[in-house]
A and B are shown apart, each in its own frame.
Chain A
Amino acid sequence: MILEDNLGPQGDSIYTALMQAHEGLTEIESHALNARLVLMLINEVGDADRIMALLQVARTPTPAA
């Protein structure tokens, strides 16, 4: 599981592309896009142990600011 930066100088352009992928979608459509994307990324990672670890971290609530 990689929780250090793995995007380097491409971080901003990738984040921008993610926002652009949502442009013009309704909230329901955006949720659907996110679901599809997560499923695709899980397949991309392709390693059950890493996916389980990622799910656990994502599930851990971060303290509200």
Chain B
Amino acid sequence: MAYDYAPFPYAAPPGLSAPEPRHPAVIVGAGPIGLAMAIDLAQHGVASVVLDDNNVVSVGSRAICWAKRTLEIFDRLGVGARMLDKGVTWKVGRLFHGSKAVYNFDLLPEEGHKYPAFINLQQYYVEQYLVERAQELPDLIDLRFLNKVTGHTDKGDHVVIDIETPDGAYQLEADYYIAAEGATSPTRKRMDLPFEGQTFEEHFLIVDVEMEKSPFETDSPERWFWFAPPFHPGQSALLHKQPDNIYRIDLQLGPETDPKTEATEAKVIPRIKAIVGDTPFRLDWMSVYKFRCAKLENFMHNRVLFVGDSAHVVSPFGARGGNGGIQDVDNLGWKLAAVLSGEAPDTLLDSYNTERTHGSAENILNSSRATNFMTPKSPIEALFRNEVLNLAETHPFARKLINSGRLSQPCSLHGLPLQSGDHPLVGQSLIDAPLGDGWLIEEAQGAFTLLIIGNEAAPATLGLRQLHITEPGPELARRYGNGCFLIRPDGHICAHFETPDTDQIATALARAKGQTQ
């Protein structure tokens, strides 16, 4: 069944008839990043208005691979379980060269985590679930569809936003303006900000087909990637399963391609038949695209903050686009809430810029390398690539050099200013573990949390949630050892203590909140 694109309701905004009070946050864009941003802020008590020029979810499946860390963040936002339930769980990537399987990797070889390595779920479902979650928070989230932002002016201590609706134009004022408009970000263009990086000349065709019979020969869905498959000579191909018996097929087309003629049924159907043979299928969606790896130098420009693809774009190999954007949201939500409430100085927002430009650079590095491996630019690059693939059939070392995408991992903030000390877990995001009937990620995210493992006495109150585990289960014991960990609201570990010393904890907490350097 094709997805039912039901439009979201539009109502004439109050600002059309009388000026509205200044809003703490206005979010531009109701894609997965903008919606997640609104929910995150709401859960920290911050009201926001979300403006979108459209009134329907993403057309086409677009972002489909949601990583474990993203699901843990979505768990905190109230949609993780629903996504897991609907999504297709997978963890194995299998690589082929020609018709031979040369290598496979398991992205989560151990048990004891609430969420799997990856699920595949169409972006339209994710947006639908996020909209429905946002609608459960009507006092804190004001969703305004068919509200197109046409201009904005940073006044120093607030931003004035020009908006057009079917009923006319109006203005809003916001303490902070968050651009979550996707890769073409009109805000970025309006501000004339350089968006620099590498453009790849290769065209890729992405097709979603619905079919009853699975093209996978394995029992469970995996990520299958081919170099030079028999059905698509000389190029690469990628196959993923989505819910509703929809399969994503991604075919490299080379640089000399006319996107208009390629994105037609006449061209696409024979390409799909070459893969699936006589199996009946229905074309659900297709698109031909080129991509870039690029980012803004700064994600924060006074009162204007950029999140998601507005701030950075990557090639899709590695699933680092949507998953990177959700980590932006996770990083920014608690900080903006702390600044707006006066709990933290506004310089705390500088750490959003520092931490997420760092994360984004890591994503760009990995996705550029994968794309370069997949699309050799010269005969010598092609020669090396092909000999890596040939050697990989026999020699394990070469298998590790095959790069079909290094899949999204949470970024480490180790050594960056809000963190204290050099314990190896400092800077990492929480590693999940079973905890009683539930999970560590359910108990230790959303607010600063002191996790104490062992028999040490809990310290006097520090205005801090404490999670004291005297008898850790085997996974928790193995993953953390004994001691005391300070966990940020976004689930990153920012300090470790051998014993829970009140003064040391208070110092690390002040540092994590940007109250001291």
| A interface residue numbers (CB < 8 A to B) | 2-7, 11-13, 15-16, 18-19, 22, 25, 27, 30, 57, 62-65
Contact = CB atoms under 8 A, between A and B. Distances in A.
B392 to A, nearest CB: 9
Contact of B369 (A16, A57, A62): A16
Contact of A5 (B379, B380, B396): B396
B391 A62 contact: yes
Given A3-B395, A65-B228, 5 more contacts: A6-B397, A16-B372, A18-B384, A57-B395, A63-B393
Contacts of A11: 400-401
Interface string B372-415: 11000011110010001111011111011101001000000000
Given A19-B372, A65-B389, A12 B406 contact: yes
B70 interface: no
Interface of B: 97-100, 227-228, 366, 369, 372-373, 378-381, 384, 388-391, 393-397, 399-401, 403, 406
Contacts of B381: 19, 22
Contacts of B380: 22, 25, 27, 30
A15 B394 contact: no
B285 to A, nearest CB: 31
B97 A12 contact: no
A47 to B, nearest CB: 18
A7 B100 contact: no
Given A7-B400, A15-B373, A65 B100 contact: yes
Contact of A22 (B99, B366, B378, B394): B378
A2 to B, nearest CB: 7
- 8 A-B pairs with least C-beta separation: A65-B98, A62-B390, A30-B380, A5-B400, A3-B395, A65-B97, A5-B397, A22-B380
Given A15-B403, A27-B379, A65-B97, A4 B384 contact: no
Nearest to A33: B380
20 contacts: A4-B396, A5-B399, A7-B400, A7-B401, A12-B366, A12-B369, A12-B401, A16-B372, A18-B384, A22-B380, A25-B380, A27-B379, A27-B380, A62-B390, A63-B390, A65-B97, A65-B98, A65-B99, A65-B228, A65-B390
Nearest to B387: A62
Contacts of B388: 15
B397 A7 contact: yes
B390 to A, nearest CB: 4
A22 B372 CA distance: 13
> Which of B97, B366, B380, B389 is most buried by chain A, counting CB atoms within 10 A of its CB?
B380
Given A16-B372, A19-B381, A65-B99, A2 B366 contact: no
Nearest to A2: B397
Contacts of A65: 97-100, 227-228, 389-390
Contacts of B227: 65
